[in-house]
Structure formats: C-alpha cells, structure tokens
Amino acid sequence: MQQTGSQILFKALKEEKVDTLFGYPGGSVMDIYDEMFRQNIRHILVRHEQGAIHAADGYARASGRVGVCLVTSGPGATNTVTGIANAYMDSIPVVVLTGQVTTAMIGNDGFQEVDITGITRTCTKHNFLVRRIGDLQGTIREAFQIARSGRPGPVLVDLPKDVIQSVIEADVPPAAVPPAEEACPDLERPCNEALKLLLKAKRPLIIVGGGVILGKASEVFRSFVKKLQIPVASTLMGMGAFPGTDPLWTGMVGMHGAYYANMAVSQCDVLMAVGVRFDDRVTSKVSAFAPHARLIHIDIDPVSIDKVIRADVSMVCHCGPALKTLNRLIDEQRLTLPKLQIRHWHRQLRQWKAEMPLQYCRNQNIKPQYVIEKLYQLTEGRAIIATEVGQNQMWAAQFYRFDEPNTFLTSGGLGAMGFGLPAAIGAQVACPDRIVVDVAGDGSIQMNIQELATVVHYGLPVKVVILNNLYLGMVRQWQELYYGRRYSQTDMTQAPDFVKLAEAYGVKGLRATKPEDVKRILLEGLETPGPVMMDFQVEPEENVYPIVKPGSPLTEMSFGNVRAVA
C-alpha cells in the first residue's frame, strides 16, 4: 500500500497524540487540507496566521502539551514569526508546520516563496526543511521531541509541496529518532549544599519562575516550600506555581512587583531561584540585585546559570528532579528551619505588606485595578486569564491571585501585543470546561481583534475584558514619567465602538462607564453563554504602580499618589 506525504504527516501527528491544529489554508498546503477531510483531527480556522501561532501557544500553556499550527508558504509563514519569537522567549513548546514551494523551485523566487527556515533560525529551538518524503515521519517525531525536551521551545518544519504530494510505500519504516537525553546530573551534593545555606539563613527567600510550571513541578515545589516555610516571590512567568493566597506568598518581583517582594529580594541573605532566568524586568540594576544574598540557582538551561547573577550553588536540570531530591533529603535527615531563627524575617515581611499593600486611589471614574479585583472575586480565582500586553497585563498580574499553574497566560519575554485573544482561544480549546478571560487594553486588542470571528465560528465562550483608557497606556505612562508628559502618538481616542464591533461579529457586547456598573457588567458577561466582549471605560491616565525606573535598584520604587498605610 502506498501513502502520500499528507497521509504520512497526519500519521505522524496522530503518533504524537495531536488532537487540534490551529491554521489557515493556502496554495502550498492544499493537499494537506484535502487530506484533512479524511482525518479525525480538529482544525481551528483562525482569521490571521499570527492568531494561529498565538492560539497554539495558548493551547500549550494551558494544557502543558505541544501546540501545533499549520500555515501556507510566503506570507502565511512570515505572519507566524512574531508568535514564534514569543514562544521562543517564553520557552513554550510549539510545532509550526509551514508550506513551501516545490523543492525544484526553492531559491528561484517562486510565487509565495520565502526562506522561512533562514528567517526563523534565531527564534526557533530548531527548524527543518524536509526535502525527501522518506524523511517526513521521522522529522515530525524529532520536531515534537525537541519542542518539549530540555528547555521547551518552538520548532518549525517547512514542507515543500512536492514532498507532501509524493508517494511512498507505507511499509517503509521511518528513520529511528533517538530519545532525547535530559540533563540529570548527580544532585545529591549540590542539594546538600543548598540545604546547608538555607538552614543557616535568617532571611531566606525563594523566587519561582516559569520553569517550575513548564517542568510540571508545581506540586513538588509547594511541598518543598511547606517543609521549610520559606517565603516565596515570583516572576511574571511563575505566577500560579505557588498559590497567590498562601500566607508565604510574597508577590511578584521586579519593575512592577509588589513593594514587599522587592524589599524581600533586596534584604534576604539567601536567595533560591527555581526556574528563573533573571531577565532585566526582574533584576533591574544587576549590581544592586539581592546584594546581601548567597544564591542558589536551579534551571534546565545551562546558559542561564551565571549569565546575569552569579550563583553560589547551581543545578542544571529540570526543576522537578532537583526539588524531589531536596524533599527526600529533608525527610531523610529530618531537617527543619528553626522558627525562632526566621521569626523576625516573617514579621518583617508582614510589616512591609501592611505598610504598603498593592493599592490605588478611587474616584468617580472606573479604576482598572477595581475591575480586576471584581473579576477575581466573581470567578473565585478559578478562571484561566490570558492577557494582552501593557498596563492591562500588569494589573492582571498584580490584582488577580493565581492559585494554580497554567492559569496565567501572558507574553513575558517578547511583550507581543495581540497575544491575549488568540491565546485565550487556544486555552478554551484545550480546557473547554474552564472560564477563560482575555484581559485586554484598547490598543492591544485591536491587533488581533479579527479572531472574534473564530470564537463565534466554533462557539468558544471566551470572555474579553477591555480596560479602555483611550491610550497606548504603558507607553503613555512612560511618556508621563520620563519624557516630560509629551504624549507622542499614544492617543487612541479614534477607536471603534467595541460594543457595536463585537455585535457585528456576533459576540455579545457590554459596556461599563461608572464604578457602580462594574460588578453588574462582569456578572452579566460571565453568566452569558458564549463569547462576550466587555468594554470598561477606565480612568484615562491611571498608572501602574509600583514602578522601578529601568536601571535603578529594586528598592527605588515610585508609587504615584499612593502612600504607605498609616
């Protein structure tokens, strides 16, 4: 029996247990889409290829599985580049299948030909150009293996049209793909060294990052924290790895981190970083970051170790094995961190929280922080929250408490506007029984707003909460604080009526203009079956606080009009 390249592709996808593709058809992939008629696989037709890659990314973040998108050659492929770079920066496992002109035409500037493997070489974990049908099945298997192993990331597979159309004998076995070798060093010695540092500490602190969530190590991490009762702070990507309602939770650290989290980092004497890469939004002024602390660093990526902050004890491995070894050693040696030893540290953290909690000044206008607070209360903290990028993203991180991993989906490293809505689509497909909300700004939502058609097409009950301040809010805030209030090209008053626009797509549109409207509109939106877009007309010049000026120590935070609690 003979099989075409398209049939072999779907066979390989089924071997990887792929149940959903996010895509958009075109000339070079028509044979794949034709074969799809005969395949039992779900396809989500997006309205733009950037929506496809972001939706695959959101699917991966919410489900913990590899997301897959399928696009045509030329502009179809290039439209995915932003999403590929986004997945690369945040270490999200995605496989991107791109169509390509025939192998004979490659390099001849054929219609819709681009060198997509060359274009994406710096923003993929690996990429492939398949030139022979005999290599196809093995290449797909290898792509998935690379995407999910080690530090996860996007892998692109470029599929020439003639390879997909070719025929091969079905009984020809694919080339063997050796299993990925996961780095797993001898952990006994460094774990004992780490425990010695922690047990001597008077002011210990743990920073948890996205590596704990990606490594599916949240439960073992929580167990470790409970055993030693060490306070926990988080990076933006680590939100949900440790419960935001736990007394040991110290908040998000960094440029828009909580006062008490930034102060804890600046005063701790031992800092344990788990699944953290120490990007500049976390550290700010590197020479002033955790200046009194000995550092323990656990990360799967050897490049991250000593790259920004020098470690006293380091482990290059997945977070799970290291934390399991730490837990075992604690149990075997019956280790505890004496309560008297760190009593003053816990008291200091409580005092900082009481003095300067996350807060804002209320007036007659809707405050965006208030919208997020009410959203948290009404969903009881159980929603999956996707965000766009900018002020809306930071307010969601600050005022929604995440108790579970894989529930905060945000573009961290790249800061890609337009991420939230398609990511929410991917999350809703992956988790059909969960409430999924996209927290958006009026600027960012317009970058991929066409995906409202996708949610209607597939009956996805995604809820969109727009914090509409009629500005490109975060850029305007920086212009106010650092550029003499010269608002250059950040005015967004020429905007669509989001309620009417939603209704034009077939989505229910709601609007709130006063603080007393907020709870009612949120309740109506959350209880309405199907997709809903809620337009909250918020305080136009509200700023995200605290804020640390780039290059300043984390202790130098600005708070605007908010003052310490008396």
User: Tens digits of per-residue pLDDT, 369-384?
Assistant: 999 999 999 999 999 9
- Which residues have a catalytic role annotated? 49, 111-112, 161, 474
Report yes or no: 498 and 468 within 8 Å, Cβ to Cβ: yes
Contact between 45 and 457 under an 8 Å Cβ cutoff? The reply is yes
State residue 175's pLDDT score. 53
**Domain end (from 169, 199, 230):** 169
pLDDT tens-digit series, residues 215-231: 999 999 999 999 999 99
Which residue range(s) make up the domain with 16? Answer: 2-169
Nearest to 323 by CA among 279, 272, 278, 282: 272
Q: At residue 392, does pLDDT exceed 80?
A: yes
Closest CA to 514 of 392, 365, 374: 365
Contact 95, 66 (CB under 8 A): yes
For residues 73 and 113, state if they share a domain.
yes
- Tell me, yes or no, whether 409 and 449 share the same domain: yes
On whether the CB atoms of residues 502 and 452 are closer than 8 A, the answer is yes
566 pLDDT above the threshold of 50: no
3-state helix, strand, coil in the chain (%, to 5): 40, 20, 40
- For residues 454 and 425, the answer to whether their CB atoms sit within 8 Å is yes
Q: What is the pLDDT of residues 126-169, one digit of tens each?
A: 999 999 999 999 999 999 999 999 999 999 999 999 999 999 98
Burial of 519 from C-beta contacts in 10 A (0-12 / 13-18 / 19+)? middle
- pLDDT value at 183 more than 60: no
Asked if 252 contacts 262 with a C-beta cutoff of 8 angstroms, the reply is no
Determine, yes or no, domain membership for 556. Answer: no
Percent of the chain predicted with pLDDT > 90: 94
Q: Decide if 322 contacts 300 (C-beta within 8 A).
A: no
**Whether pTM exceeds 0.85:** yes
Is 193 inside any structural domain? Answer: yes
Number of domains in the chain: 3
Residues 193 and 406: their CA atoms lie apart, in Å, by 31
Residue 178 belongs to a domain: no
What is residue 339's predicted lDDT score, i.e. its pLDDT? 83
Residue 65 lies in a domain: yes
pLDDT at residue 177 is higher than 60: no
Burial class (CB in 10 A: 0-12, 13-18, 19+), 348: middle
Query: Would you say residue 184 has pLDDT above 80?
Result: no
Q: Which of 444, 454, 448, 383 is nearest to 417 (CA)?
A: 444
Confidence (pLDDT) at 563: 63
Domain assignment present for residue 361? The answer is no
* CA distance to 16, 22, 80, 501, 507, per residue, from 147 (Å): 12, 17, 16, 38, 35
* Co-location of 159 and 42 in the same domain: yes
- Residues 400, 496 share a domain: yes
Instruction: Find the range with the poorest average confidence among 183-197, 406-420, 448-462.
Output: 183-197
Do 248 and 133 lie in one domain? The reply is no
> Using an 8 Å Cβ cutoff, are 63 and 425 in contact?
no
Q: Is the pLDDT of residue 173 over 70?
A: no
Which residue bears the tokens 């939004």? 281
CATH number assigned to the domain comprising residue 6:
3.40.50.970
Residue 62 in tokens: 């919410």
Is 489 exposed, middle or buried (CB count within 10 Å of its CB: 0-12, 13-18, 19+)?
exposed
Same domain, 129 and 159: yes
Instruction: Give the phi and the psi of residue 71 in degrees, each rounded to 5.
Output: -140, 165
Q: In terms of Cα–Cα distance, which of 91, 182, 172 is closest to 145?
A: 182
